[in-house]
Chains A and B, each alone.
Chain A
Amino acid sequence: MQRSLLAFYYGGSDTKIRARMDLIDRSGGRRTRVLTMLRRDESEGANQRLFIYFHEPSDVRGVSLLVWKYPAKDDDRWIYMPAMDLERRVSANDRQSSFVGSDFTYEDVSGRDLGDERHRLVGEGSAGGRACYQIESTPVGASSYARRVWWIDKQNYLPLKEEYYDRRGGLVRVFSADEVRSIATGSHTYPTVTKRTMKDVRTGRRTEVTFTDVKYDLGLRAADFTERSLRRPPAAWIR
């Protein structure tokens, strides 16, 4: 499980992802955003820094979000809005709140800690046509879900499917890895979920995230993840 978390959330020591995020309602109404996410691990499986830059739609181009993630305490978040040239630190104590209005949570994007949940191997199965371990996890502290069941690929440890249940045992959200590609960087190859969907079962809404460009081990610097970079995004990585 540790390996799965590492494979999914901590591939490489740093990453650059350009992604398209589609929020889709039941009748097909759609809100699309294109963003670049930079990630740098301060230490494997622990402190992480994220920098998110919005490219599209054009009216939000340049909006940037900086997240400093710590394993055992609330994230620090900063946001910058170019239209008003305003920057604010955002204190929110909820990692499980929605990520920019999508069906993913901050936690789904930036990752959970192994100790956040109690895990139990419930069996083996298959998801997306691949042999998987089936795991049931129960959150230790307060959480928006009561239980989740997930399937991780036996070979590369990537989660291929997740089901989130509420307190009454009702299915709330379903995650699926729709496309897995191996991204080669130098000597190393990182299996990566390049297309994923999170569906809210009750509202019928879903969010699809498609990675259009993924790179690992770029040698991102800690200086790229400071408040200064909100106003001046690291030009080498974000175009």
Chain B
Amino acid sequence: MLKLVELATTRPKLVIAVVLLVTGLFMSQFPKVKTDTDPKHMLPATSAVRVYNDAVEEHFQLHADWIVLGIVNAKGVLNPTTLAKVARLTNAIVGLPGVVPEDVISFTTADNVLADEANLYVKPVMAEVPQTGPELAALRRALIENPLLMDRLYSRDGQATAIYIPLATNANGKIIADQIRGLLRKADDDGSGDEFHLAGDPVARDSFGAEMSKQMGIFSPIAGAIMFAALLLMFRSLVPVIACMGVSMVCVIWAMGGTIGLGIPIHIMSSMSPVFLMAISTDTVHIFNEFYFRFRETADKRRAILDSLRVVGRPLIYTDLTTAAAFASLAVGDIIPVRVFGLLVAFGTLVLLLMSFTLTPALLSLMNADRLAALTRHEDMAEGSSARWLSGLARFSLRYGKAVVAGGLLLVLVSLIGVSRIRVNNNLVQWFKPHSDIRVGDAVLNRELGGTATAYLVVQGGQPDAMQQPEVLSFIEGLQRELEKSPLVGKTTSLADVVKRVSRVMHADDPRYEVIPDSADAVAQYLLLFSMAAKPRDLNNFVDYPMQQANLWVQLKTWDAVGMQQVQQIVEQYKSRALPAGSGKTGSLSIRAAGIAYFNLVWNQAVLWGMLYGFIVSCVLVLFLMSACFRCPTLGVIAGLPLLFTILVIYGLVGFIGKDFDMPIAVLSTLSLGLATDFAVHFIDRYRQRRAEVGPEACMDSVLAWTVARPGKGIVRNAVLFALGFSAMLFAALTPYITVGLFMAAIMLLSALATLTLLPILVKAVRSRPHGRQRER
């Protein structure tokens, strides 16, 4: 490695030119970028839940993605102006590219079957916009009396209707939502009091995707600028600033360019990797830190560079290799974007290591020696105020070691309570701020209509035609009533509702006949009639061709995992109580869940717990690697303690403030892997070097104080720099970025503090024992 440094210091311009050339090559890949923001794709296409979801969509001819346009009017939506608007909007929406035109559902496209004594009438709910009082009253009655329409196309308080818009596969929900907003702008502000709200998973998901790149575009440079200013203040010269920022840019470009070049789409996870790499690359600060001290001592630029890297080099190699290994170990899991992310950051970290021994020394050797002399005047161990302050801190914690450790333990205990309160939940809608259109739209539609999150409960019979048996339909109907008792369930719809509706219509619209008939023949004939009158999909959505599986739709009023968990509990209880034994006509019956709400629940389990698991594996790996680096398990464990301490406290905080353990938080935990150990490694390695330098007779306290003051200053610089940079994200418009910014800053500061206060005490405790002393090199 030092050979590389010698080359960099003798031929700096050549080294810089080569690095720039390679960087240019990686950068040329950027225009090929593909993004993928669908959280579904975090699970492999072959995962059981995705395979079954696809099968259910296929069996029941369902669309995976729906946008819901809610139209709300406090004076009621059944008035000619609003209804004309619904008709106009439906017409316009049907023509939008990406929308499946034949399956858009609104007053004008949904069919209703009406009846009198001798006739059945099949016509759209609203064929023409009603103008007169009686016409409006008739429409109102038609809506209220049809349970298939109520709470779906018309709210109980009469203040809301909706247009349901299915999207073609691969259509972008955000683009279509923007086009719909364009249509709404024309419809707005006519004094009618109509309000419009857009909701649905594709809107949230794709808006998040679009917003994600925008926010990254805004906040990466701001974070960069703040770090730039902070670095300038610390080193008072442009060269280390440019070197530090340049190195992190090079890492980001190589890693992202490489990923893009391989044709791998950038997912939410990997889109955060520039932040990670910038964070990890602040490591370079240790080189400048030591270089300033060394130059002050020797006044020989080339020697100062070589000496700095000789002492900082080993901890740099340790920390970067540990970090790279930790991230690479994420690739062991099943979740593809997490794998990509792990390998991407691992590669970037190795690039950083290479740059630390090439680009950084090359840039440093271009610095003007006279100017350096002026700059480094204050970097003196005895005179420097910050160094004095830091060694004071070391002496304080060494003197009051027991109190400091007790304080730390207390904090750990309190944090454990917090950790026990953590709720694993990922709610995409809540990634937007409370007053954002998406949050408000979702809340309004959940209040007025059936609910925006859909789950399917597939009731499967043992043989064809099982779903036409009256006892099966009664079982399904009973389950619906049970589910509807939960406040989180808004509406349920099933084949039982269809059969009851046809029965009533066939009996001259007599409400007494809104029941499931006694004979399977009657059910079969009603369904045949329904298939003659309605659109095929109106039946296919609820039952498959062989009539062996029925689909019960459950609309939930929340995207939280708890909604679906409750549904599953109700299903289990009801099943154990009411599941028909299964006759020769039905075979044995079973129920299986699917749909986006169920998917989210599984996703929570698989992805978040998977990440947690991967994180624990990485932690063990890190401890092992550090033990290997120091050739001493005790020191390895000690070096891991600030990391564990930091994580516990952070997660304790997450538990106490009631923040869900969601994807951004899970991502953060992996970040701490890359950062929190660095400080400890630098600390312990430099401590050992110093001890070897000054000899075994030197007072241990003073060696530790030196370590806290000198490499410790690098640690503080690194942490502050980082915390400042990421505090910029507190002003982001998406909550995950705020979370990441806030917690990132907290992790850095906390682990720096833990390293500088706890490590001296722990090292002293271990090293004071005789066997520890003997093993000291």
Interface residue ranges, A against B (CB under 8 Å): 23-27, 29-31, 54, 57, 59-60, 63, 65, 79, 81-84, 86, 88-94, 97-103, 144, 166-168, 202-205
Contact = CB atoms under 8 A, between A and B. Distances in A.
A176 B94 CA distance: 29
A168 B102 CA distance: 12
Given A97-B535, A168-B97, A91 B119 contact: yes
Contacts of B118: 88-89
A10 to B, nearest CB: 23
A81 B119 CA distance: 14
Interface stretch (B54-62, B173-181, B766-774): B54-62
A29 B535 contact: no
Interface stretch (B198-206, B538-546, B663-671, B721-729): B538-546
Contacts of B522: 81, 83-84
B547 A31 contact: yes
B62 to A, nearest CB: 10
Interface centre among A26, A88, A94, A103 (most CB of B within 10 A): A88
Contacts of A167: 95, 101
B612 to A, nearest CB: 36
B520 interface: yes
15 contacts: A25-B58, A25-B544, A57-B524, A59-B465, A60-B525, A63-B525, A63-B528, A63-B529, A82-B525, A86-B506, A89-B119, A90-B533, A92-B123, A204-B58, A205-B61
B506 A88 contact: yes
Nearest to B530: A101
Contacts of A98: 531, 535-536
Given A59-B468, A90-B533, A167-B101, A27 B59 contact: yes
Contact of A100 (B55, B507, B519, B528): B528
B95 A29 contact: no
Given A91-B119, A101-B536, A29 B101 contact: no
Contacts of A93: 123
Nearest to B531: A101
A55 to B, nearest CB: 13
B122 interface: yes
Contacts of A100: 528, 531-532
B419 to A, nearest CB: 46
A63 B97 CA distance: 41
B120 interface: yes
Interface centre among A26, A30, A79 (most CB of B within 10 A): A79
B122 A90 contact: yes
B101 A88 contact: no
Given A92-B533, A99-B532, 10 more contacts: A25-B61, A25-B544, A54-B528, A59-B523, A63-B528, A82-B525, A89-B118, A94-B122, A100-B532, A103-B536
B525 A57 contact: no
Contacts of B121: 90-92
A174 B716 CA distance: 71
A31 B525 contact: no
Given A30-B545, A31-B547, A166-B101, A88 B535 contact: no
A29 B55 contact: no
A44 B121 CA distance: 30
Contacts of A54: 528
A30 B546 contact: yes
Contacts of A97: 122, 535
B115 interface: yes
B506 A84 contact: yes
B300 interface: no
Interface centre among B524, B544, B545 (most CB of A within 10 A): B545
Contacts of B544: 25, 29
B521 interface: yes
Contacts of A30: 545-546
A147 to B, nearest CB: 15
A61 B752 CA distance: 81
B705 to A, nearest CB: 73
Nearest to A26: B58
Interface of B: 55, 58-59, 61, 95, 97, 100-102, 115, 118-123, 465, 468, 506-507, 517, 519-526, 528-529, 531-533, 535-536, 539-540, 544-548
Contacts of A90: 119-122, 532-533
A100 B528 CA distance: 7
Nearest to A25: B545
A58 B605 CA distance: 46
Contact of B546 (A29, A88, A203): A29
B58 A27 contact: yes
A94 B495 CA distance: 24
Nearest to B549: A29
Given A24-B545, A97-B535, A89 B520 contact: no
B119 A60 contact: no
| Top 9 A-B residue pairs of the complex, sorted by shortest distance between their CB atoms | A101-B531, A59-B524, A31-B545, A83-B522, A92-B122, A83-B521, A29-B545, A81-B525, A59-B521
Nearest to A94: B122
A88 B532 contact: no
A132 to B, nearest CB: 29
Contacts of B535: 97-98
B90 to A, nearest CB: 15
Contacts of B547: 31
Nearest to A103: B536
Contacts of B507: 86
Contacts of B120: 79, 88-91
Given A29-B59, A29-B546, A30-B545, A57 B506 contact: no
A84 B521 CA distance: 9
B644 to A, nearest CB: 50
B506 A23 contact: no
A26 B61 CA distance: 10
B151 to A, nearest CB: 26
A59 B520 contact: yes
Given A26-B58, A29-B544, A91 B122 contact: yes
Contacts of A89: 118-120
Nearest to A172: B102
Contacts of B55: 27
A54 B524 CA distance: 12
A106 B465 CA distance: 25
A25 B58 CA distance: 8
B529 A81 contact: yes
Contacts of A23: 545
Nearest to A90: B120
A24 B61 CA distance: 12
Nearest to A24: B545
A93 B122 CA distance: 8
A91 to B, nearest CB: 5
Contacts of B546: 29-31
